[in-house]
Chain A
Amino acid sequence: MNYKFFPHTQDDVKQMLDKCGLKSLDELYKDIPEELQFKRDYDLPRAMSEIEVRNFFEELAMNNNPLKCFMGAGVYDHYTPAVVQDIVNRSEFLTSYTPYQAEISQGTLQYIFEYQSMMAELTGMEVSNASMYDGCTATAEAMMMAVSNAKKRNKVLISETVNPFVIRVVETYAKFHGIDVEMIEAENGVTSRADFEAKVGADDVAGVIVASPNFFGILEDYTGWADFCHEHKTLLIMNCPASALSVIKTPAEWGADIAVGDGQSLGIPMNFGGPYVGYLCTSKKLIRKMPGRIVGATTDADGKRAFVLTLQAREQHIRREKATSNICSNQSLMALFVTVYMSLMGKQGLREVNEISYSNAHYLADQLVKTGKFELEYPDKPFLNEFVVKTSLDVDDLLNYLEISYAAGVPIDDDKLLMCATETISKEDINDLIDAINEYIKEEKEDKNDE
C-alpha cells in the first residue's frame, strides 16, 4: 500500500479507522453483499516504475510513423508556436475544475471570455459558447438547436459537400433524436442551388447545413441563400474550419444563423484525432437556445470587473431533461489552446498562415498536373488550401509507395485524392514529393515495359 500516489502510512490508516470505529479497510465495504464483491486479482500487468512506463511508451512510439503531411479532410497540420503548449501545460489551468467557484477561477473564466470574443470575431457572429467536443458534434448540436427553435418542424437538410465525418455524426444524432435528415445534392463539387431551393421551398425545413470550404476544399458561393432560408423560416447553419475564417467570407457575412466547426486548424496538433475543440457561434437572439457553457462579464462585491458562468438556466444541471443539450464537460483546455494561438498570431499572422497555405496548395496542384498523370477534379472552382485531383495512377499503390516519407493525401475514390498543404510544408517539400511521384511513374512504366 506504500506507493507514490498514496500518502497513507500504516499508522495513518489505523488512526483513521479508529475514528470511524472500524478495524479494517474491508469493513468499509461490509454493506456490499459478499457475492457481489470482487475477490480475485485484476488481469492487468504489474505496476511499472516511471522508467518502465517511459520505456513502454518509447517502444509503442516506434510503431508510429508521423509523416510529412499532405492530408487534410478536416484535420490540418498547422504549426503550433512553442508558447502555446507551454501555457496550456501550466498546472493552474491544466489541473483546475470547471469554474463554478468564480472567485478562485478567474484565470479559466477570463480565457473563456477571450475565446468567446475571438470566435465571435472569426465567425462574425454575435455570441459564442465556451466550446464543444469537436466540429462534428458541434454541427449535430446546431441541428438540434434549429429543430428546437422551429418548434413544429423536424427536418434538417445537409449538403453532400459537407465533410462525411461530420455528416455521419449528424445522422447518428438525428436518428436517435427523431430528426429527419435529407441530403442536398452536390453538383460539380458544390451544393445544388436548385435542389436547395426546391427542398427549403417546401416550408417544412428547420435548418440547412452547408460548408465552406467544403469537403473538396472548394469555397462555395452562398449569395442569397440566407435570405431564401429566412423567407421560408429556416435557419442557415454553416460549417467552416476555423483558421480559414480569418480570410474567407464569414458565416455572418453570408447571413447564417449558426456558425459551427472545428477549431483544430488554429494550431492544435493533429493528436491522432483528438482532443480538438468544436466551436458554436450564433446571434444574440438565439443565445438561450445555445448548448453548453457561456461566460459573461459582471462585477464583484467591490465593483471590480470579473467573469462568471452565466445563463446556466439552459444547462443540464439546472434544467435536466429540458436542457438545451446534455453537454457538461467540454474542451475547455483546448479553448485555451486556440486562444493563446490567436493571441500570438493576431489577424496578420492568421492571414499569413492562410496566404502561405494557399500558395503551397496551388503550387502543389500545378506541379501535380505537370506530371501528366493528375488533373484537377473541379478546375473551375476556387480553393484555399485543399483540392481534389483525379489520377490515372493506382491511388492505393501510389500512396503505399509514398508512405515511406509522405501522408500524401486522403483517397476519396478509386481514382481521386484529396490533398492539402499548409504553412508547415515548404516549396522544397513539394518538389521532393513531386520527384517521388515522378519516380513512381517511371518505375510503373518500367514495370509495364517488363511485362
Chain B
Amino acid sequence: MNNTFYGKLIFELSKEGRKGYSLPENKLAEYKLNDLPAALMRQEPPCLPEVDEMTVVRHYTNMSNNNFGVDTGFYPLGSCTMKYNPKINEQMCAKPEFTQLHPLQAEADIQGALAVYYNLQRSLAELSGLKEFTLNPYAGAHGELTGLMVMRSYHLDNGNPNRVKVIIPDSAHGTNPASAAVCGLEVVVVKSRPDGTVDVEDLKPLLDENVAGMMMTNPNTLGIFEHNIAEIAKLVHEAGGLMYYDGANLNPMLGKCRPGDLGFDIMHINLHKTFSTPHGGGGPGSGPVGVREGLEKFLPNPRVIREQLTDDIYYYHIEDGEDSLGSISGFLGNFGVMMRAYAYILTLGKDEIKNVGPLAVLNANYVKESLKDYYELPLDGVCKHEFVFDGLKDKSTGVTTLDVAKRLLDYGFHAPTIYFPLLFHEAMMIEPPENESKETLDEFIEVMKKIAIEAKENPELVKTAPHNTPVRRLDDTKAALKQIVTYRELLSVDEL
C-alpha cells in the first residue's frame, strides 16, 4: 500500500481522439447501424473517457496502491472472516473451459461445470449437517432472503399463511431484519441476556401460532456460543416454527460443530467468509442455502441434479422443481465464486478443514486475553472466533472507538468492526482468522496497547488520526449534503 494519495479520476486523463482498444475491421460494413430508425437511437454519445491503454493501466494501478487488502495486512474485522484468499483458487476459476461457457449451453457441454456445482453442494451439506444446498444466491443477504422464502413456502404449503413472524435477536446483523422485510415477513426482536445469549424467558411469550421461525447466528455476534441452542430449537419447533442459521459466523464451527446437528432447519453460508473467496471490495460473494430433509423441494430454480450412469460415472442435469419457491437469480448464481470455494475445500480436505475452527478460536482468545487489561471486556470467558470490547478501559480520555479504529490505520492494520453489535456503545468487534500467525497477532496487540497509552498521554493524536494514510478523516456530512455521485455533477460545482 502506498500512503501517497493518487486521487485522479479516469475522466481527468481523457483527451479527445485517444483510444485504448483495437477491434477487427468490419468486413460487413454494408450493414450499417445508422440504418436503424433515428428515433430509436441515442442523440448524444455517452461521455466516456478517451485514453490510451498504458494510461488506463497506470491509472488503475496507482489507484489500487491506495487500497488495503488481505494481501497487504491484517484485518481484525469481526463477523467478516477476512481470511487468506489462496492464489490457486484464482487460477482455477479463471480456466477458459469454465469462464467461456454460456449458461444456456446444452447439458452435454457443461458437465464439468455442473459437477463443480453439484459436488460443492454436497460438500457444504456434509460440513453443515443439512440435506441439500442451492448455490444460486449471490451473497449472504441474498441467501437470507432465499432461506426465508423457503421458510415461508413451507408454512404456505402446510396451510399456515398467518405464520409471518420472524424472531431475531437484538444482537443480529442488520441484514436479518431487512431480509425478513423484503420477504414480506414481520420482525419480532428477542432480547439478549447480560451474557449476550438469547433470553429464553423473553423468547417464550413470543412463540405463538403466528411464528414462522427464528433467525440466529451461533456463535452470536459477540462470539458467544448459544449454549441454550437445543432448548431454543425445541421451543421454536414445538411452536411450529423453523430455525434459521445465519452462516456469517460459521468459521469457528468447522471441525467442531454442525448447524444441522444443533436443530437448525435452514441456513446460508457466506463462501466469501468461511470458504476463502475474496471480498473484492464488497463482492461478488456467494450465499448458498442449505435445508434439512423435507424442505429441499422448496429450493429455488434452477437446480442441479445428479444421475448415476454406472458405478462411478455420473451425468448432471439442470432441472426446475414444481414446488420450488421460484427463481432468485438469472442462472446458477456466482459460479466463479463457487469454483474458488470448491478449490479451497479440496485443498484442505477432511484432514485439515477440521483445524480451521480451533485455530481461529485460539487466535481470538489469545488476542482477547492479551488486551483485556487495556480495553473494556464486557463478557469474560472463552469466546469463539471473535469478541467485543466496549471501547478503552479508561473512558476519561474522551478517545472513542472510532478514534482507536482510525489510529490503527496509521500502524498498518485495518480497523475492527466498530459500533456493532448495537448492544454496547463503543463496540469494537475483533476476529483474527486462522491464517494469522502469532507474530502478526503480537504486533497487533502491541499496537493496540500503544494506542491505549497514546489515548492517555496524547489524546489529540488519536482523536485526529489517521495521520499516515493517503487521505485523512473524511467529511461524511458534506458528502451526504452535496450528494455528488457522478463526474458530471463534480464538474458542475465550483468547489467541494
Contact = CB atoms under 8 A, between A and B. Distances in A.
A387 interface: no
Given A42-B350, A57-B92, A356-B24, A345 B48 contact: yes
B330 A165 contact: yes
B329 to A, nearest CB: 7
B187 interface: yes
Contacts of A127: 485-486
A95 B85 contact: yes
21 contacts: A29-B358, A41-B350, A44-B353, A53-B92, A74-B330, A75-B103, A86-B57, A90-B64, A130-B282, A133-B142, A248-B41, A270-B99, A270-B100, A300-B474, A308-B479, A317-B174, A334-B283, A346-B20, A346-B49, A350-B46, A399-B106
B36 A382 contact: yes
Contacts of A73: 104
A340 B63 contact: no
B357 to A, nearest CB: 8
A369 interface: no
Contacts of B284: 133, 274-275, 329-334
A237 to B, nearest CB: 17
B337 interface: yes
B71 A64 contact: no
Contact of A311 (B109, B469, B480): B480
Interface stretch (B112-120, B237-245, B388-396): B112-120
A202 interface: no
B400 interface: no
Given A32-B227, A103-B406, A169-B327, A270 B69 contact: no
A20 interface: yes
Contacts of B326: 168-169, 171-172, 175
A7 B362 CA distance: 12
Nearest to B332: A273
Nearest to B68: A104
Contact of A177 (B1, B29, B184): B184
A143 to B, nearest CB: 11
Interface in A48-105: 48, 50, 52-54, 56-57, 60-67, 69, 71, 73-75, 77, 79, 81, 83, 85-87, 89-99, 101-105
A332 B283 contact: yes
Nearest to A399: B106
A345 B21 contact: yes
A57 to B, nearest CB: 5
Contacts of B261: 36, 38
B275 interface: no
Interface string B412-436: 0011000010000000000000111
Nearest to B383: A28
A347 interface: yes
B485 A128 contact: yes
Contact of B370 (A19, A79, A343): A19
A353 interface: yes
A299 B496 contact: yes
A105 B126 contact: no
Contact of B282 (A19, A75, A97, A173): A97
Interface stretch (B199-207, B339-347, B451-459): B339-347
A120 interface: yes
Contact of A66 (B1, B101, B334): B101
A12 interface: yes
B42 A250 contact: yes
Contacts of A54: 88, 91-92
B9 A328 contact: no
Given A169-B327, A321-B180, 11 more contacts: A5-B352, A26-B358, A32-B225, A64-B113, A136-B329, A169-B328, A249-B41, A273-B331, A273-B332, A308-B474, A348-B45
A293 B272 CA distance: 19
The 6 closest A-B pairs by CB, nearest first: A273-B331, A47-B349, A172-B326, A333-B280, A107-B67, A273-B103
A66 B100 CA distance: 6
A248 B63 contact: no
Contacts of A298: 474-476, 478-479, 482, 496
Contacts of B24: 356, 423, 426
A360 interface: yes
B235 interface: no
A243 B101 CA distance: 20
B28 interface: yes
Interface in B342-369: 343, 345-355, 358-359, 361-363, 365-366, 369
B282 A300 contact: no
Contacts of B470: 103-104, 106
B471 interface: yes
Nearest to B72: A92
A158 interface: no
A229 to B, nearest CB: 19
A246 interface: yes
Interface residues of B, number: 202
A340 B60 contact: yes
A64 to B, nearest CB: 4
Nearest to A46: B349
A284 interface: yes
A333 B281 contact: yes
Interface string A287-314: 1000001111111111011101011000
B139 A38 contact: no
B141 interface: yes
A126 interface: yes
A274 B60 contact: no
A265 interface: no
Contacts of A48: 346-347, 349
Interface in B444-484: 464, 466, 469-476, 478-480, 482-484
A93 B64 contact: yes
Contacts of B405: 101
Contact of B283 (A47, A297, A331): A331
A69 B278 CA distance: 30
A103 B60 CA distance: 17
Contact of B21 (A67, A110, A270, A349): A349
A447 interface: no
Contact of A53 (B139, B329, B346, B381): B346
Contact of B26 (A37, A175, A355): A355
Nearest to A222: B40
A358 B69 contact: no
B486 to A, nearest CB: 4
Given A64-B111, A97-B82, A274-B284, A45 B97 contact: no
B359 A8 contact: yes
Contacts of B66: 104-107, 110
Contacts of A436: none
Contacts of B109: 64-67, 403, 407
Contact of B438 (A7, A166, A328): A7
Given A308-B479, A343-B20, A103 B100 contact: no
A336 B60 CA distance: 10
Most chain A CB within a 10 A radius of its CB, from B11, B103, B332: B103
Contacts of A116: 485-486
B309 interface: no
A113 B484 CA distance: 9
Contact of B181 (A93, A297, A321): A321
A36 B229 contact: yes
Contacts of B485: 113, 116, 120, 127-128, 287, 294-297, 310
Contacts of A117: 9, 11, 486-488
Nearest to B300: A172
A118 interface: yes
A67 B70 contact: no
Contacts of A101: 68, 405, 409, 414-415
B250 interface: no
Most chain A CB within a 10 A radius of its CB, from B80, B108, B327, B365: B327
A95 to B, nearest CB: 4
A104 B1 contact: yes
